[in-house]
Structure 1
Amino acid sequence: MNVRPVRISLLAVTTGALIASSVAVSAAAPVPAPARQSTSAVTSSVADAPVERLIVGYKSGAAEAKSNDAATKDAKAKGKETGESLGFDRRLGTGAALVDLGGELKKGSLDQVIDTFRADSEVAYVVPDRRMYAMADPNDSDYGRQWDLFEATAGMNVPGAWSKATGEGVKVAVIDTGYVAHSDLAANVVAGYDFISDPFMAQDGGGRDSNAADPGDWMNRGECGTDSNGQPVPPQNTNNSWHGTHVAGTIAAVTGNGKGVAGIAYNATVQPVRVLGKCGGTTADIIDAITWASGGTVSGVPANPNPADVINMSLGGGSACDAGSQSAINGAVNRGTTVVVAAGNNNANAAGFNPASCNNVITVAASDREGNRAAYSNYGSVVEITAPGGETTASAANGIWSTLNTGTRSVGSESYSAYQGTSMAAPHIAGLAALMNEAKPELTPAQISTAIRENARTLPGSCSGGCGAGLADASATIAAITGGTPDPDPDPQPGDGVFTNSANVNIPDYGAWIASDIQVTGRSGSAPAQLKVPVDIKHTFRGDLVVVLEAPDGTDFTLKNLSQSDSTDNITQTFTVDASRVAANGTWQLWVRDTYANDTGYIDSWGLNF
């Protein structure tokens, strides 16, 4: 008897989290960036960083949900009950109350204070206001090539989408460290906002204001306190990351200007929304930033004149998604904003990270230049899609190149550098979402997520733990939503051909192989090294399917292995195989086998695109 896991129906939009990423294509060889220190060491103590405030969500009918005076009185009462000095700080954009713990807790534990709020029937949720950090690993080696956009093995097939969309008229908010001036990005940047409420963390002489400029996020060893083991946070001195600018360059760096890099959605606008500074950022500030960026109202902050169609969050912290963050994300999605987040850089299950494990976000894992899950990338069932994140540990040429600055402890001169991280992968998907918004503006965030997943291609390398639907394919996705067919070669050569079969071949239940044929004629020599194989299989449980392409000489190319953990319906994607060693002409066959009983499906259509 065959046994498999209970089927879980995947939502159109799953979850999000942690750290995102950025990428760009080089139009001319940029100057090398100076040596930089990795920010990854900072993140190891994120979960242990001291908690100074709580986010308290009251039920809608409670007086504390509507009145700041009532919330103030309740905080004082709870403080008296626990022997602590609690106070109401401010109202968040979601309506939740931010409660100050009054410094170090005197008598009780943090859990005791939280439990006191939870015991109140008027409280819907209470969560710590934790710190979050940018999570990318910079590298100081020379720039190689922008493989992530166009390279056949593991690039995202971006050039093939540009004939139909470039992001014109689409607004993308980058919730990150802010923006440091760069001539390869400036034309596409619109005014943002600085949501860092703590002047020490802001490092720009004040708290919240309308200036989203990034003054730098350098830190000295131990400047952010100690962790639960008494170790300094951060454990070593760090220099400026200019993380938000690197992310923004991947999304919308100016293209066709004869220098630097190209953005994925190079005619979109980027709005910097600053939440990360010295010692990271707080959940409360990020909640307000999500609300404001998507067009919601935040008390004391002017309305956003450019509400985002897409939000990118290349940030995160330890612990699963909290109710406060989820509330802000739900509000943004309900306003029509697609929210893209990074899976995280801990080589762990993304379900344990925030906002990667939130619902209604697109959570992005990172792949390397060979198409494997990057060694650092988080994984798991909450991951929806994988995009290039690079691995500079092997070589700077294998990293993601984008806009940066030379300043280590202050603003220097503009530059470019290769970074690695899920922080570099997420902006790839944010850029793709921007292209989709232009190509078909009526798409909802859920439909955008679904289209990205359904048009992904199988990772050419390996993935343990779960990498979502596979490697995102910009060309196939844009073609699918516009009713066209993917262009595997933006500059087609004479003799290119497309062979298709509208098969409608039923797949036998459990065990037997079934084949659909395509007869190729009129070709000379061998098939291409990058033969595209678009496949459309309708099936109620695609994880049970094995799909193999057989060449005329009998050579087999496995397009999909058995994956019991993949419970999504249907296979709708374009596979790529190296068929350069087999003759093009003859009968090609697509073989499909269902390895489990009680599911139904059929080969709808498939093709060979030379």
Structure 2
Amino acid sequence: MSNRMRIGALLGASMAFAFSMAAHAAAPAGGLGATHYNLSSLKSDGHYDRFIVTWRPGSAERANPSLMRQSMGAALSRAGLVRATLSAQGMMQAPVQASYGRRLAIGADVLRTSRKLDRNEAAALMAQIASDPAVLHVAPDVLRHAVRDIAAPASLRPSAFKPSDTEFRQYQWDLKAPSGRATAFGDRNYGGAHVNAAWDLADGKGIVIAVLDTGITTHVDVNTKLAGAGYDFITDAFLSGRKNDGRIPGGWDPGDWTTGRPWQSMCTDEFNPPQPSSWHGTHVASTVGAERTNNGIGLAGIAYRARVLPIRVLGHCGGYDSDISDAIIWAAGGHVDGVPDNTHPAQVINLSLGGYGQCTADDPMGQAIALANKRGAVVVVAAGNDNDNAKYFSPASCPGTVTVAATGITSRRAYYSNYGRTVDLAAPGGGIYAGDRSSGEQVSDGFVWQAINSGATKPVADDSNYAGYAGTSQATPHVSGTVALMQAARLARGLKPLTPAAVLDILQRTAATPKVAPDHRIGAGILDAYAAVNMAINSGGTTSQATLLGNGVALSDLSGAKGSRTVYRIDVPEGAGKLSLRTSGGSGDVTLYVNRGTPATAEDYHCRSAHAGTSESVVLDHPAAGSWFVTVVGRTGYRGVSLVGKYLASR
């Protein structure tokens, strides 16, 4: 049996780097920092007719959509938008009116305007809405998109692709050890995620991974068992492609093409040309674990015995923040009005999507992620493909996420990958060109290969095609699948699941140092699935006898290996005014965990200090009397480090 690879660009949000710079400039300095509203997602050439408003608890507006409309109508008046005006093109524009949309699961509400507003009009309206004392926060309800991946050319594939387990050995460099061993195509593999060794410890059984994307299609090598249990969260008929507004059961992907009316005229431009259906969700879900493994067909998925729950949030032209935030809460097991409760709550949520804007804890996406974290779900997101700082993108910059950059087979940062302090770690996403350079010859080992659908618009049933793509949206499911392996390994051994914070801590502590030094910050290093699963199994155990710290006496020349945990104790008397615990000097990278009464771990600590390098500090005012433990963890190997604990005794 032979298969064809469909080669085509996936739908994307990413635009040229120069255009992203213009988007940064469009956000005024006070927009993000203002207490009540966030303008950072507004683009200079954008148009907006949906706004998410959070009302103060107890306000009359919060309980009454009619009063919400009145409040927004007053804001429109103050913003000068209730008069007929001339557009920049000289066309007469009717007065703007307000209407009520719906309530989100976070408790905020979508309000709409009768026409789309340009950037300046939208900013003026948001400022006026936020000036209402009844309003807590305002954000534009913007469209997010699947991160634009780069498709492998047809020339990189043999004319007849024969599905068999041997294709894992030939094509999936990304799942192998970064040992430097030559691949079937002759490239030295220093960028693999070491998943093959992790399979000796876990397979994902017992874990649900929600993939919030375009949905999923049937494929001979893809497990779609939970597709019917998923949901299509797209409320707008224009985006969903349905006749009517509203959500429907099932996580299926009916297609997201923009090559025909009405989407071609409304959603495409020089940066986003018309595209056939991307089937982005099928490719991402296959990497995370939906690709059937050890079945004698095709390729392999990471957490292949986990259950993958597809949730459609992206359609023609993308998907709104309001729908995505509802879907995050629903995926984690939270309630969303109008939708039956999820009977398969996810422990891992994959978001290979995004767009411009700086995300704060008060924004709808930030609130939804916090609620998912509270339910124990780890939210993994793509950093973006704009070769830019990830802090300018959402949800990559949202608090509570695991944000993933992309690297290639050499371990070099992929030239397109976003970077910066918002990024937590990197994972294989594909470097496209020989040597992971930014141009040149495209090579087979420059891509991540997985199942795809061959339909140009609507899906082909039970397809058997595969495709290679490169992008941070491909790196992200490598991390999501590994998180599922970590939690499944603990479940199989009768251990409690790790908290989202503990998962991130282990991912970063076990990340491999790139062989090629990164040109920009990409977090702790490259995902090492085997090391992460191994540490997850052994995490939370007690350490050996703690070393006693004398008050104000420095311990010098401390050293430890990557992932090591060394415990120290300082006994604090009654009435101490302040306790400080500090590390400094030497080389490497350490994290401090501090706890009272028992040794601190990544799952159980009173406070921690986690910065790049060895300079860490925890200061406590009026600490309780007793033994305080400080655990020094090697995020990398370290040596020559000093530790000092000091308290101010009572007079």
Q: What is the TM-score of this pair, normalised by structure 1?
A: 0.75
C-alpha distance in structure 1 between counterparts of 2:321 and 2:226, whole Å: 25
Task: Tell me which amino acid in the other structure corresponds to 1:115.
Answer: A
C-alpha distance in structure 1 between counterparts of 2:398 and 2:119, whole Å: 33
Aligned to 1:406: 454
Q: 2:237 aligned with 1:199, yes or no?
A: yes
> Taking structure 1 as reference, are residues 205 and 245 closer, same or farther at Cα in structure 2, changes over 3 Å only?
farther
C-alpha distance in structure 1 between counterparts of 2:15 and 2:132, whole Å: 34
> Taking structure 1 as reference, are residues 202 and 514 closer, same or farther at Cα in structure 2, changes over 3 Å only?
closer
Per the TM alignment, residue 383 of structure 1 is displaced from its structure 2 partner at its CA by: 0.8
> Taking structure 1 as reference, are residues 344 and 536 closer, same or farther at Cα in structure 2, changes over 3 Å only?
same
**2:334 maps to which of 286, 291, 296:** 296
Query: Comparing 271-280 with 389-398, which one deviates more in the overlay?
Result: 389-398
Contact 1:392 1:420 (C-alpha < 8 Å) held by counterparts: yes
C-alpha distance in structure 2 between counterparts of 1:189 and 1:181, whole Å: 12
Q: 2:146 aligned with 1:146, yes or no?
A: no
Contact 1:223 1:233 (C-alpha < 8 Å) held by counterparts: no
**1:425 maps to which of 470, 475, 478:** 475
Task: Tell me which amino acid in the other structure corresponds to 1:37.
Answer: A
C-alpha distance in structure 2 between counterparts of 1:282 and 1:178, whole Å: 15
> Taking structure 1 as reference, are residues 185 and 392 closer, same or farther at Cα in structure 2, changes over 3 Å only?
same
Q: SS where residue 416 of structure 1 aligns?
A: strand
C-alpha distance in structure 1 between counterparts of 2:234 and 2:584, whole Å: 44
Q: SS where residue 51 of structure 1 aligns?
A: strand
Per the TM alignment, residue 251 of structure 1 is displaced from its structure 2 partner at its CA by: 0.9
Please, which runs of 5 or more residues in structure 1 have no aligned partner?
Answer: 1-28, 485-501, 517-532, 549-563, 576-590, 602-610
Aligned to 1:442: 497
**1:211 maps to which of 238, 250, 262:** 250
**1:396 maps to which of 418, 423, 444:** 444
Aligned to 1:85: 97
**1:72 maps to which of 66, 69, 88:** 69
Query: Comparing 33-42 with 174-183, which one deviates more in the overlay?
Result: 33-42
Per the TM alignment, residue 420 of structure 1 is displaced from its structure 2 partner at its CA by: 0.5
Q: 2:342 aligned with 1:324, yes or no?
A: no
1:398-449 CA-to-partner distances (Å, cap 9, x unmatched) read: 2111111111222233311111011001101111111122122431111111
Aligned to 1:359: 399
Per the TM alignment, residue 243 of structure 1 is displaced from its structure 2 partner at its CA by: 0.6
**2:564 maps to which of 536, 539, 545:** 536
Q: SS where residue 245 of structure 1 aligns?
A: helix
Aligned to 1:310: 348
C-alpha distance in structure 1 between counterparts of 2:558 and 2:57, whole Å: 57
Per the TM alignment, residue 337 of structure 1 is displaced from its structure 2 partner at its CA by: 0.9
> Taking structure 1 as reference, are residues 353 and 534 closer, same or farther at Cα in structure 2, changes over 3 Å only?
closer
Q: Count matched residues.
A: 505
Contact 2:177 2:196 (C-alpha < 8 Å) held by counterparts: no
C-alpha distance in structure 2 between counterparts of 1:573 and 1:70, whole Å: 53
C-alpha distance in structure 2 between counterparts of 1:423 and 1:168, whole Å: 24
C-alpha distance in structure 2 between counterparts of 1:355 and 1:514, whole Å: 39
Task: Tell me which amino acid in the other structure corresponds to 2:5.
Answer: A
Q: 2:518 aligned with 1:463, yes or no?
A: yes
1:128-177 CA-to-partner distances (Å, cap 9, x unmatched) read: 11111111222233285201111322211112222221111101110111
Contact 1:542 1:571 (C-alpha < 8 Å) held by counterparts: no
C-alpha distance in structure 1 between counterparts of 2:519 and 2:432, whole Å: 20
Per the TM alignment, residue 388 of structure 1 is displaced from its structure 2 partner at its CA by: 0.6
Aligned to 1:333: 373
Aligned to 2:414: 374
Q: SS where residue 249 of structure 2 aligns?
A: coil
Aligned to 1:57: 54
Contact 1:225 1:233 (C-alpha < 8 Å) held by counterparts: no
Task: Tell me which amino acid in the other structure corresponds to 1:325.
Answer: M
Per the TM alignment, residue 184 of structure 1 is displaced from its structure 2 partner at its CA by: 1.7
Task: Tell me which amino acid in the other structure corresponds to 2:269.
Answer: P
Q: SS where residue 473 of structure 2 aligns?
A: helix
Aligned to 2:204: 167
Per the TM alignment, residue 111 of structure 1 is displaced from its structure 2 partner at its CA by: 1.3
Per the TM alignment, residue 42 of structure 1 is displaced from its structure 2 partner at its CA by: 5.8
Aligned to 1:284: 322
Per the TM alignment, residue 358 of structure 1 is displaced from its structure 2 partner at its CA by: 0.6
**1:220 maps to which of 232, 240, 259:** 259
Task: Tell me which amino acid in the other structure corresponds to 2:444.
Answer: A
Please, which runs of 5 or more residues in structure 2 have no aligned partner?
Answer: 21-42, 83-95, 158-166, 179-189, 435-442, 491-495, 540-544, 568-580, 590-610, 617-631, 646-651
Q: SS where residue 248 of structure 2 aligns?
A: coil
C-alpha distance in structure 2 between counterparts of 1:348 and 1:30, whole Å: 40
Per the TM alignment, residue 483 of structure 1 is displaced from its structure 2 partner at its CA by: 2.1
- Higher relative CO (Cα under 8 Å, sequence separation at least 6) belongs to 1
C-alpha distance in structure 1 between counterparts of 2:515 and 2:115, whole Å: 51
Aligned to 2:530: 475
> Taking structure 1 as reference, are residues 291 and 173 closer, same or farther at Cα in structure 2, changes over 3 Å only?
same
C-alpha distance in structure 1 between counterparts of 2:172 and 2:513, whole Å: 21
> Taking structure 1 as reference, are residues 568 and 282 closer, same or farther at Cα in structure 2, changes over 3 Å only?
farther
> Taking structure 1 as reference, are residues 43 and 107 closer, same or farther at Cα in structure 2, changes over 3 Å only?
closer
Task: Tell me which amino acid in the other structure corresponds to 1:298.
Answer: V
C-alpha distance in structure 2 between counterparts of 1:469 and 1:30, whole Å: 41
